[in-house]
Chains A and B, each alone.
Chain A
């Protein structure tokens, strides 16, 4: 099928502001927006966008697709053309546009650091962990740092989503010495935290799901089992 991509172009060295440019490409409905972009790029090699894995695990190709932040490689053409044959592609909102669909990711990666984004190993950790506890760490560990949850939050300045998911994941890790103290270090009101967790599966391309009851419900580490 022939579809149109309407792509937000901007080259700060030449353009006074962003503008949209249209490309026509022929793709199958089972292909992805990234496949379509690769074809547009071959028509116009000056087009800039990040990509790598094309299987939703590297997080490079996050962008705004028909007004919603999403991974280009994870969005099928069939879905993106549900409301018409033109797919509108823009840079991720709340990130600074550097060129075309490329945005500045340095502040996002920098924001991780405020969260102590590494494990602080307990002295008495004996190397064992119950399978169901380990299972619970898995989901937040699938975070690919794509920036989409940051792009979805209008007031995310304070909560720094990248570090937040790491915090919640480590807070539940029985190996971690900081444990639930991590939540206090975040200085994010619990209500906001719960709201973020509630909205996460909907916006996250990995569908990360976590229990909402974050505080006071960290696994009982001495027994290595979940609290009742």
Chain B
């Protein structure tokens, strides 16, 4: 039922978006770089695990004079470290974000356009880690995950000088569905992890999630733009134990107009 509700909200936003314009410009973006990731998941450990790893993100964008729609997919894989030598964690993260943004105002600054967009969308992040130790014969402390699906409110500002483009985006979760491990071991399964894609419905003060993005683009030709992007993502939840995580992503790549 919860998943159906979230899907319905996304579908509503999506169908509304497609009813808006007919002169859409489509583009595809691929960027790669580094993700500086930090997590404290007290279900597995009271220590912070962190590392910088390879990151890849892709985005499909439909842009009109009045609106922007984007579909973003990102993936990360890392061996996270602590301050302790004999512990690490194999971590992977996958995220998907859909945004629909409507142009609410336009300003001229230094002779160039500054467009302000407001809207919303959906965000899904799976963060999974296997926590390892290199002391006993067993080798594994536990497994843990944080899987969230959020309905978000989003804002985007875009300053365009013609060949140069600077954008600033921010997304804040409003309501979320969060899946986390149970309190402890799951009887009859011989393990802790039994990853459910859906868990508890939460409002933003219980499960705050913030995403900030700064993107710079330089137009190489009518179809190609080179990009440099900085992302900051933060999420927090406190069941069955506190998990706080954030990542700083530094990426570069190209956008191709279709």
Binding between chains A and B: no
